[in-house]
Amino acid sequence: MRIKITVVLLALAFATNLAPASRANVQQTDPSIQTFWAKFKLAVSKGDKESIAAMSQFPIEMPYGFPAIKTKAQLIKRYRELFSVQANAVKCFATAAPMVDEQNKNQFTIGCKDHGGMDNVQYGFAKKRGVWKLIFLDNIAE
């Protein structure tokens, strides 16, 4: 009986020590990601092409079969390609959360469902010179 009690107490102590470590990792996440993401998804929901262009790094890499978007003028012209053809970005971005790259904390992605309902579409972002920018759109099924 004493052994069971000891095992339970040790398990509780171990679990209690893990909880603060998990919270510490969450708090260490770069808060600039959430700030940028809120501004970016708002710009997409409003169709604010000028703001999106300012929050993008050119060229924006595109999925197989689509040429890269090389300039602000191309982004404005090909806006639909970027945010509607592969996925409904407005709908996706409303609930999507950034997934920080474990290998490189200066990169994150947003995963979206394609029009067939599969989680295949990714928007990629990177922090360059202290500023977050959209750098790619990919469809991992292609």
Task: Report, as an integer, the average pLDDT of 30-50.
Answer: 97
Q: pLDDT for 101-132, tens place per residue?
A: 999 999 999 999 999 999 999 999 999 999 99
* CA–CA separation, 114 and 86 (whole Å): 6
Task: Judge whether residue 2 has pLDDT over 90.
Answer: no
Sequence-distant (≥ 6) Cβ neighbours of residue 137 within 8 angstroms? 60, 61, 62, 63, 82, 86, 121, 122, 123, 124
Contact between 122 and 135 (Cβ < 8 Å): no
| Closest alpha carbon to 111 in 101, 124, 102, 126 | 124
* CA–CA separation, 33 and 11 (whole Å): 36
- Please give the CATH topology (third level) of the domain spanning 30-139: Nuclear Transport Factor 2; Chain: A, (3.10.450)
pLDDT at 29: 75
* CA–CA separation, 79 and 83 (whole Å): 6
Helix or strand run (H / E) with residue 80? helix 79-80
Q: pLDDT for 52-71, tens place per residue?
A: 999 999 999 999 999 999 99
Helix or strand run (H / E) with residue 107? strand 107-112
- Domain range annotation of the chain: 30-139
* CA–CA separation, 133 and 13 (whole Å): 43
pTM of the model: 0.79
